[in-house]
């Protein structure tokens, strides 16, 4: 057997002496903790009757409330009302509808009615007015406080402030919409760009195929734009492009008609459900509108900016979208060859309208 050394003996004695001190310290901490809890409890007890809902609500930062089935508030949690800049006394005894956004009244009222008809829980989202005049979004879960099997006599609700999430969601939606708009828009003219034009052409073609309808396309070119740039400068040339683009877009009468910048000084107009005669009339109206703008161009005999237009019409069972564009583009070049400032129509595909 190994006997303890003098050093071991001293160490064990030291531990024996320290143990009561450690226990006393732990006991002191425990007494302090119990006293703290008791004092907190007494603060809630007040006159000796504990208000359980206040005791629970003091630990909850949500907006908790109790309302009767007619909508009058019986109880509102202090922490929850503080998030609206209010005190419970500002709400208790009043109807919950008074601070609700008018657009949300109907569906929240319907949620309360569902509770009275027996639904155990109902969820709804609504805006509540803050004292500073702004609106806070709350996601609310409702339950009944009545006895099982009887008509509920009160509605209990817990509402979570989701304003930050809603604002973030709206910001993201707005940002995404802006990005999508930028990605589909020509930066100079504001018209749909080539990417967006391709989407429109595919969608219009699919619709025409489903409905067995004709589809027409115009290809428009500003006459002598190079000479315009040489005489007036490229900044003026850009302004000329913008002016013609706005004129073309304004001359279209139907919401389904789409004008886009194809590239350079060329524009394309897609005309759903439009026959060859109808497309020709649209093309002539566009040409006339540009002439009526009377944008000076001293470098040409007309003295003003003009456009040439190629027109083609088909039905999807006769050719594809690419072929339709090719024929409209070929018609444009014939207009150029025949003197500019004119409309030329591509020969019809047999069977097209």
Angle of helix 321-337 relative to helix 194-211, nearest 10 degrees, comes to 120
Calpha distance 88→76 (Å, rounded): 6
DSSP 8-62: HHHHHHHHHHHHHHHHHHHHHHHHHHHHHHHHHHHHHHTTT---HHHHHHTT--S
Concerning whether 337 is annotated as a catalytic residue, the answer is no
| Residue with token string 């050394």 | 5
How far apart, in whole angstroms, are the C-alpha atoms of residue 264 and residue 221?
Answer: 9
> Sign of the CA dihedral 235, 252, 209, 184?
positive
Query: How distant, in Å, are the alpha carbons of 17, 22, 69, 86 from that of 8?
Result: 14, 21, 76, 67
Q: Report strand pairing: 215-222 vs 307-314.
A: antiparallel
Catalytic residue among 265, 266, 284, 344: 265
Query: Which residue in this structure is represented by tokens 């850009």?
Result: 238
Catalytic residue positions? Answer: 265
């Amino acid at each position: 057997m190994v006997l303890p050394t003098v050093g071991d003996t001293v160490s064990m004695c030291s531990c024996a002496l320290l143990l009561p001190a450690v226990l006393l310290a732990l006991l002191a901490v425990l007494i302090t903790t119990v006293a703290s809890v008791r004092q907190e409890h007494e603060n809630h007890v007040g006159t000796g009757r504990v208000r359980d809902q206040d005791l629970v609500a003091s630990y909850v930062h949500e907006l908790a409330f109790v309302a009767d089935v007619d909508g009058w508030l019986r109880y509102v949690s202090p922490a929850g009302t503080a998030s609206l800049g209010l005190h419970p006394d500002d709400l208790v005894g009043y109807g919950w509808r008074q601070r609700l956004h008018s657009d949300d009244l109907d569906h929240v009222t319907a949620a309360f009615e569902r509770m009275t008809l027996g639904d155990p829980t109902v969820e709804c989202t609504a805006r509540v007015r803050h004292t500073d005049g702004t609106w806070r979004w709350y996601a609310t879960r409702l339950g009944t406080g009545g006895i099982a099997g009887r008509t509920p006599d009160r509605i209990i609700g817990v509402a979570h402030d989701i304003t930050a999430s809603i604002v973030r969601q709206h910001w993201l939606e707005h940002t995404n919409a802006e990005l999508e708009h930028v990605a589909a828009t020509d930066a100079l003219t504001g018209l749909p760009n080539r990417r967006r034009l391709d989407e429109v052409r595919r969608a219009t073609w699919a619709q025409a195929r489903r409905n067995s309808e004709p589809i027409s396309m115009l290809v428009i070119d500003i006459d002598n734009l190079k000479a315009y740039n040489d005489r007036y400068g490229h900044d003026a040339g850009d302004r000329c492009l913008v002016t013609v683009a706005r004129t073309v877009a304004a001359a279209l009468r139907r919401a389904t008609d789409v004008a886009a910048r194809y590239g350079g000084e060329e524009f394309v107009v897609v005309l759903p459900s439009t026959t060859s005669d109808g497309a020709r009339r649209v093309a002539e109206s566009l040409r006339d509108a540009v002439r009526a703008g009377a944008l000076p161009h001293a470098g040409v005999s007309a003295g003003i900016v003009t456009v040439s237009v190629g027109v083609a019409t088909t039905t999807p069972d006769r050719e594809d979208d690419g072929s339709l564009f090719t024929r409209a583009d070929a018609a444009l070049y014939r207009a150029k060859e025949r003197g500019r400032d004119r409309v030329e129509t591509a020969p019809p595909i047999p069977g097209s309208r």
